[in-house]
Structure 1
Amino acid sequence: MIQEYEPEATRRDAGDAESSRASRGWWDRNADEYQSEHGTFLGDDRFVWGPEGLDEAEARLLGPAESLRGADVLEIGAGAAQCSRWLAAQGARPVAMDLSHRQLQHALRIGGGFPLVEADAGALPFADGSFDLACAAYGAVPFVSDPVKVFREVRRVLRPGGRWVFSVTHPIRWAFPDEPGPEGLSVAASYFDRTPYVEQDERGRAVYVEHHRTIGDRVRDVVAGGFRLVDLVEPEWPAWNSQEWGGWSPLRGNLIPGTAIFVCVRD
């Protein structure tokens, strides 16, 4: 009987190419399980910003409802394109982009009638000024080593006045164990340690990479990418949400933030 190797978790440097390769492989391998486990919560056509359940229908971080009608919107790290499907229902013209072929197969399975594009967020295959809005609900940004490169690409494909709204794991979570119970409430690492979290195979090749930036880092990255930050949203855990999702839970969510949403404008 051949025993499957369990990836080793470590903290080490990981550059653009290694991070991109690891992300593509991880999401291709895990897309089926991810959609099966979280598909009910995400819905087929719901725009949820994170595990807390903050819904764009209520938050309106992309702008008033009427502003979405006829808007060209790029969703980065779209997964099964649930957010794009919601945007299309509001009258927008979304394009759903993801690095993972398997994730986009799930988007195709559910349907929607809008373009699906397989591409890397650091090299967007679109002309300058193609979109009015860009968004990413936990897509791409946490997994890239050079977020400024991504932000500059997003700025390039946005029209003047366009919004770029993205959500990531709240940086403070990096100081705590990624556990939903009481063991996840004690500081276990330095918040200021930017060393990436890497899972690697028996040959030392990264199979999963996630990059940490402090809140200050994220703000500086937004500015360096050519954007003006107009809001930073830290969703509170709602009373109706009783689910656990990885390290997110009602216990932790009522004490420390789990998600940070950056609302940016291209002037």
Structure 2
Amino acid sequence: MEEDARVARHPVTDAEARRANRGWWDGDADNYQAEHGAFLGEVDFVWCPEGLREADARLLGDVAGRRVLEVGCGAASAARWLAKEGADTVAMDLSAGMLRHAVAAAEASGVRVPLLQADGLALPFRDGVFDVACTAFGAVPFVADSGALMREVARVLRPGGRWVFSVTHPMRWIFLDDPGERGLLAVHSYFDRSPYVERDADGEATYVEQHRTLGDRLRELVAAGFVLRDLVEPEWPAGHEQLWGQWSPLRGRLFPGTAIFCCEKA
């Protein structure tokens, strides 16, 4: 996360974060799918750049007959995979640009799930209507108040419902955002919760990503009424040479890049 005049780490308001990230994902949707769509697949559930798949990990358990919500679904490849597994799946995202790709992928694959454009901080569902909620790098890193997001997810889950989400591993925030050797140098404090912010020439925030420590995440989950059942830190698999932003074989063999929180509503 190397800084210049338009890239820095400093606080932003919730409104700034929401506006920036909706605009970013609307504008970048085509590029994102062109770069990562083949890796993610049309009907597949990939948790992280390390390539861990739900078909192998089964972090959600048996989803057949379960009502499942994918939060921050992007192009909804995971939601379509869940539907193929027999889940009654709903997929939502803040970005119309990403949902446009979800519609196109549904047409191409023939697997369709309900799609909603909605804010993760105001889920448009009644209390306790889902058995499972999940997201692979969606919503959680992009909202200013992720504790509020945890409470919203807890609200729409039934007691005993499962909430599983993946995010950039918090320890990655001490390093430069570089897949090469420069990315092995620790330059930031792990305890600096200031978000990573990109701005345009007029000073408007165009991209915002939030940092929380492992302890922060645990406290958010407990406060929302969740019990943490597992914390998965996928190891970089042998033979996997594909770069994804700051993820690379070089860094992946030395320290984790992804954290997957597996929780149940108490």
Shared fold per TM-score greater than 0.5: yes
Q: Is the 8 A contact 1:61 1:263 kept in 2?
A: yes
SS at match of 2:167: strand
Amino acid at match of 1:95: V
Map of 1:84 onto structure 2: 79
The equivalences for 1:1-267 within 5 A come to 8-63=6-61, 67-111=62-106, 112-267=111-266
TM-score w.r.t. the length of structure 1 is 0.95
- How far the C-alpha of 1:224 sits from its partner, in A, is 1.2
Q: Is the 8 A contact 1:7 1:199 kept in 2?
A: no
Map of 1:3 onto structure 2: none
Amino acid at match of 1:26: W
* Distance in 2, Cα, partners of 1:247 & 1:238: 16
SS at match of 2:231: strand
TM-score w.r.t. the length of structure 2 is 0.95
* Distance in 1, Cα, partners of 2:94 & 2:29: 12
1:182-206 deviations in Å (ceiling 9; x for gaps)? 1101111111111111011222211
1:109-156 deviations in Å (ceiling 9; x for gaps)? 011321000001000001111110000100000011111100111011
- Structure 1: gaps of 5 or more residues: 1-5
Q: 4+ residue stretches of structure 1 with deviation over 6 A?
A: none
- How far the C-alpha of 1:16 sits from its partner, in A, is 1.4
* Distance in 2, Cα, partners of 1:194 & 1:102: 29
Percent sequence identity over aligned pairs: 62
SS at match of 1:83: helix
* Distance in 2, Cα, partners of 1:92 & 1:85: 9
Amino acid at match of 2:214: I
* Distance in 1, Cα, partners of 2:222 & 2:234: 23
SS at match of 2:262: strand
- How far the C-alpha of 1:7 sits from its partner, in A, is 8.3
SS at match of 2:238: coil
* Distance in 2, Cα, partners of 1:82 & 1:114: 10
* Distance in 2, Cα, partners of 1:154 & 1:178: 30
- How far the C-alpha of 1:236 sits from its partner, in A, is 0.1
Amino acid at match of 2:132: L
Amino acid at match of 1:49: W
